[in-house]
Amino acid sequence: MTVSPEPTSSTDDRHRDGADRVVAAADVTFGYAAAPVIEDVSFDVGCGEYVGIVGPNGSGKSTLLRLVLGLHEPDAGKCRLLGHPSLAFAERERVGYVAQDVTENTKRMPITVAEAVLMGRFPHAGFGRVTESDRDRVREALHTVGIEQLADRKITALSGGQRQRAYIARALAGEAELLVLDEPTVGVDAESVDAFFELLDGLNDDGMTILLVEHDIGAVIEHAARVICLNREVYFDGPPAAFAESDALSRAYGTTLGVGAGPEVDGS
């Protein structure tokens, strides 16, 4: 059974009139073969929100992101992204997506950090020509994420945390309006994780909408403005303080679990 706290008035207004919805999922169900992975899930994300999704291993968190992004087609229900049906969404530069396996994929890319970030400008380059203005955007993005000193380094030589920052810089260079991150801190050292969440906080303070799947429940409670707890269905959707005081976590995980739970990789 889904338990959710009473919405705030601003959230209630958004649900009534549909204004400022960057992401919208309505009664979404999806499964592989006959096994349901997501069942009757509904939520939306407003412009400028910072939403963290938590849940046990195999709970469908990563699958939900793929549905929202239009990478899977729901078996039932609908997903919308920036005002368009997710499956038909064509303006991919408006969304920055950092997947679970980004650090593995970049090991085979023989390009510099600046070149990787410049790829974010390609949809904006007139007639395929990169201008000095585009390069200025790249420099600004590298500065924002704090890796401008790594611009000429091969991206294969970066640590996991530095690679994550490079891909966020690419999204910023592309003028993304939504940042979607799937388990971004897996394999990243503790010091870099703290700095990474500080970066996300700053980006959100500047107006970036963030949708985050994260195994570190404590970090989500500390940094996100809203928590969705998922295990095939939504067990909670509301403020972090209310989530911490609820029994949604134990019901979703089927056990007592502290907020300092260790990393997990959601294979679904």
Domain boundaries, the chain: 1-82+180-190+211-268
Q: How confident is the model at residue 212, as a pLDDT?
A: 97
Q: How confident is the model at residue 191, as a pLDDT?
A: 81
Nearest to 24 by CA among 49, 55, 59: 49
Q: In what order do the strands lie in the sheet with 21-32?
A: 35-46, 21-32, 76-81, 84-85
Within 10 A of 102 (CB to CB), how many other CB atoms are there? 18
Distance, CA of 66 to CA of 60 (rounded, Å): 10
Q: How confident is the model at residue 39, as a pLDDT?
A: 96
CB 65 within 8 A of CB 54: no
Q: How confident is the model at residue 131, as a pLDDT?
A: 86
The secondary structure element, H or E, covering residue 107 is none
Distance, CA of 166 to CA of 170 (rounded, Å): 6
CB 117 within 8 A of CB 170: yes
| Residues sharing a CB contact under 8 Å with residue 182, sequence separation 6 or more, in sequence order | 61, 62, 65, 97, 98, 99, 100, 213, 266
Distance, CA of 219 to CA of 242 (rounded, Å): 15
Distance, CA of 156 to CA of 106 (rounded, Å): 6
CB 120 within 8 A of CB 97: no
Per the structure block, which two tokens stand in for 232? 């095939």
CB 27 within 8 A of CB 40: yes
Tell me the pLDDT of the chain (268 aa) as tens digits. 344 443 433 344 444 344 469 999 999 999 987 788 999 999 999 999 999 999 999 999 999 999 999 999 999 999 999 999 999 999 988 999 988 765 555 556 689 999 999 998 887 776 568 889 999 999 999 999 999 999 999 998 888 888 889 999 999 999 999 999 999 888 788 888 899 999 999 999 999 999 999 999 999 999 999 999 999 999 999 999 999 999 999 999 886 555 444 434 444 4
Percent of the chain with pLDDT over 70: 83
Class of domain 1-82+180-190+211-268: alpha beta
